[in-house]
Structure 1
Amino acid sequence: MASIELPLEAGRAPAPVQGWTLLAALPWFAAVAVLLLVPDLTYQPLGRELALIWGAVGGVLTLLGLFGNRLGRAGRWSALRGPWLFAIGAASALWTVVTAKTGWLPQPFFPTPQAMLEVFLYDYGKILHSAAFSIWLLAKGFFFGAIAGFLIGVGMGWSRAVSYWATPLLRYIGPLPATAWLPLAFFIFPSSGSASVFLIAFSTAFPVAVLTWSGIAAVNRDYYEIARTLGASPLFLIVKVAIPSALPHVFVGLFMGLSTSFAVLVVAEMLGVEAGLGWYLQWAQGWAAYANMYAALFVMAAMCSGLITLLFRIRDRVLVWQKGVVRW
């Protein structure tokens, strides 16, 4: 029996090393050298501990650069993010130079990397408690706002009567910033927590309602006619035809609502809530603890990015059947 030979182009051997990942280790080692060899202008705690952390990052990147192509998911992750890992390492080295070593960015308004590490090591309990409170408050407001906006949008897209009465209210009240309702919300609701939930829900409901309404109204009428021919009831048309077809628009509204609700969350916590990241930011500002302020901002950015990533994952799961129709 003759053997079949495959052309070399059919399966190229993977590259022996990941060039960008290996290169990304260099600025991390450079940051360690700057941290240990260049004297600080003022005393900085935890310098050796920070150097150990950065050196460990550089070592891990070196190993991933040399053997990442054999490590499956971890190798694919490092290969995709090699340029970013290089940029973060270079930014860390530059951050150390312009703050702790030269003072080009004056302290305490621009804290050093050592000061930031000190905050996360010794004040992590308060930061974690504030983050957990913010997530819980945001989850409640976002849930109620998403449900209300979705139901309003479905009603407006399906019923002309609902659209007739709801459209003027949505046009005149919806665009108002939720923060403009702060004085009234804190007066009406019995606690600052419930007022904050209302404001978050309000900021979420408007984009969800508008995008759901647009999605329902844009459904091809032929789908309804075919379903009616097969004996579908109005409830079946809404649940099985209109809503699935409008889900891409609904998720766009959810993304917009999540962004606006996060901004309202921080403002509400700064003005009336006795916990949360907004409250922590206000507390740090009152004590001129600038390193704590930057730590709170960092946690806020990480939390918002994580929630958006989670929503992306949920969308990909729910709309997996529309991958070939809707492009994202």
Structure 2
Amino acid sequence: MSNAQTMLGNSNALEGGAETTNTRFKPKQFWRQAAGPAWLLSALITWKWPDADDFPATNQLAAFLLATGLVLIALAAAGRLKDRAPWAFVLGLGLGVWELMQAKLLLLPRPFFGTPQDLLDVFLTDWKRLGNSLFHSLLLLAGGYLPGSILGIIIGVALGRSQHVRYWVRPVMRVIGPLPPVALLPLAFVVIPSARWAGEALMALAAGFPVAILTWSGVSAVDPAYYDVARTMGAKNRFLVLRVALPAATPQIFVGLFMGLGASFAMLVVAEMLGVKSGLGFYMQWAQGWAAYPNMYAALFVMSLMCTTLMTVLFKLRDHLLKWQKDGLKW
């Protein structure tokens, strides 16, 4: 009888342990289930709580939050909302806090701090000007970054392959290269008649220097045995550059391209604010001059989206060309 009672007690203990294990808090499941309701709560606050002032696009903002919350709930039910669930929850809750603090209670000074509906109203009413500014910024960036990167690769290969080029070009790079391109902006506007061309030239300098240095580093690090084997098989100098040096230096080249793109972003904004009368930087300066701070924040958001998209495209290209290093670096 005692043995039976002992076995029964062990069975109950195991069942209790199983119940404890089943009811244990699971963070991943919580994030997936709470992401959608967080957006629905923000929609409810936006719709039902009276605004402290006459703000535009309140109903549109509530509808946007509601639709996003329903989509997140559907994704969670289908098992599609995984790693992004915590961020979805935080963003939804953050929008609700922002709406409560500013649109409902006016805790932050205006007009420096707007409301979520102010920002949404800018995208609804001024999207054409924002899109036009984005288009001009992309054109200006392409006109400086692409030629600068190509020239940087050419110079880097020449520095890595030729001692004569290193003798003449290296001192010039050591003098001009480390200079911030912004410091050359007044001189560029004097020497180059067009403000747009001056901005593109400085962006080319900003991109070309890191690309050239890292391409040079990658080409110089190539094992000389690779060149000897290729020469033994009858390879010419062109083959050595295109089929041996450049493929071996590609990882270093992409590091230079990433650095050059970041430097070009900085130079792009400065050029548009100080000389080029178009683009997102010029739009931000115009918005600040008219104290239209929601427009300025909208331009910042679009600029951030532009920069991260271009970085993502560059990373995708890197992962495609360097498949053996695909998991080594993430963006």
Q: If the length of structure 2 is used for normalisation, what is the TM-score?
A: 0.88
Provide the C-alpha distance between the structure 2 equivalents of 1:327 and 1:122, rounded to a whole number of angstroms: 43
Q: If the length of structure 1 is used for normalisation, what is the TM-score?
A: 0.89
Where do residues 312-323 of structure 1 align in structure 2 (5 Å cutoff)? 312-320=315-323, 322-323=324-325
Provide the C-alpha distance between the structure 1 equivalents of 2:281 and 2:328, rounded to a whole number of angstroms: 36
Is the contact made by 1:18 and 1:65 (CA closer than 8 Å) also made in structure 2? no
Deviates more, 1:37-46 or 1:242-251: 37-46
Where do residues 158-169 of structure 1 align in structure 2 (5 Å cutoff)? 158-169=161-172
Counterpart of 2:68, as a letter, is V
- The reply on whether 1:196 has 2:196 as its aligned counterpart is no
Runs of 4+ in 1 over 2 A off after TM superposition: 17-22
Alpha-carbon distance, 1:18 to partner: 6.1
Deviates more, 1:122-131 or 1:78-87: 78-87
User: Paired residue for 1:236, among 236, 239, 243?
Assistant: 239
2:32 — aligned with what? 21
User: Paired residue for 2:137, among 131, 134, 148?
Assistant: 134
1:214 — aligned with what? 217
Where do residues 84-163 of structure 1 align in structure 2 (5 Å cutoff)? 84-163=87-166
Is the contact made by 1:212 and 1:249 (CA closer than 8 Å) also made in structure 2? yes
Is the contact made by 1:34 and 1:97 (CA closer than 8 Å) also made in structure 2? yes
Provide the C-alpha distance between the structure 1 equivalents of 2:142 and 2:317, rounded to a whole number of angstroms: 15
Alpha-carbon distance, 1:221 to partner: 1.6
Provide the C-alpha distance between the structure 2 equivalents of 1:300 and 1:249, rounded to a whole number of angstroms: 27
Provide the C-alpha distance between the structure 2 equivalents of 1:169 and 1:30, rounded to a whole number of angstroms: 60
Alpha-carbon distance, 1:80 to partner: 2.3
Provide the C-alpha distance between the structure 2 equivalents of 1:217 and 1:317, rounded to a whole number of angstroms: 24
1:327 — aligned with what? 328
1:301 — aligned with what? 304
Where do residues 39-118 of structure 1 align in structure 2 (5 Å cutoff)? 39-68=50-79, 75=80, 78-118=81-121
User: Paired residue for 1:174, among 174, 177, 192?
Assistant: 177
2:314 — aligned with what? 311
Alpha-carbon distance, 1:189 to partner: 1.5
SS of 1:278 mapped into structure 2: helix
Q: Identity, % of aligned pairs?
A: 49
User: Paired residue for 1:273, among 253, 268, 276?
Assistant: 276
Alpha-carbon distance, 1:155 to partner: 0.5
The C-alpha deviation readout for 1:162-186, integer Å capped at 9, x for no partner, is 1122112112210101111111111
Counterpart of 2:110, as a letter, is Q
Provide the C-alpha distance between the structure 1 equivalents of 2:287 and 2:148, rounded to a whole number of angstroms: 30
SS of 1:79 mapped into structure 2: coil
Alpha-carbon distance, 1:22 to partner: 2.7
Alpha-carbon distance, 1:208 to partner: 0.4
1:37 — aligned with what? 48
Alpha-carbon distance, 1:190 to partner: 2.2
Alpha-carbon distance, 1:188 to partner: 1.5
Is the contact made by 1:19 and 1:65 (CA closer than 8 Å) also made in structure 2? no
Alpha-carbon distance, 1:241 to partner: 0.5
Q: Which runs of 5+ in 2 are unaligned?
A: 1-27
2:186 — aligned with what? 183
Alpha-carbon distance, 1:90 to partner: 1.3
Provide the C-alpha distance between the structure 1 equivalents of 2:32 and 2:164, rounded to a whole number of angstroms: 59
Provide the C-alpha distance between the structure 1 equivalents of 2:121 and 2:100, rounded to a whole number of angstroms: 18
Provide the C-alpha distance between the structure 2 equivalents of 1:149 and 1:290, rounded to a whole number of angstroms: 38
Provide the C-alpha distance between the structure 2 equivalents of 1:144 and 1:284, rounded to a whole number of angstroms: 31
User: In the comparison of the two structures, how many residue pairs are matched?
Assistant: 303
Deviates more, 1:101-110 or 1:50-59: 101-110
Give the superposed CA RMSD. Answer: 1.6
- The reply on whether 1:290 has 2:296 as its aligned counterpart is no
Alpha-carbon distance, 1:42 to partner: 1.1
Is the contact made by 1:150 and 1:209 (CA closer than 8 Å) also made in structure 2? yes
Provide the C-alpha distance between the structure 1 equivalents of 2:281 and 2:296, rounded to a whole number of angstroms: 10
Counterpart of 2:207, as a letter, is T
Provide the C-alpha distance between the structure 2 equivalents of 1:327 and 1:62, rounded to a whole number of angstroms: 34
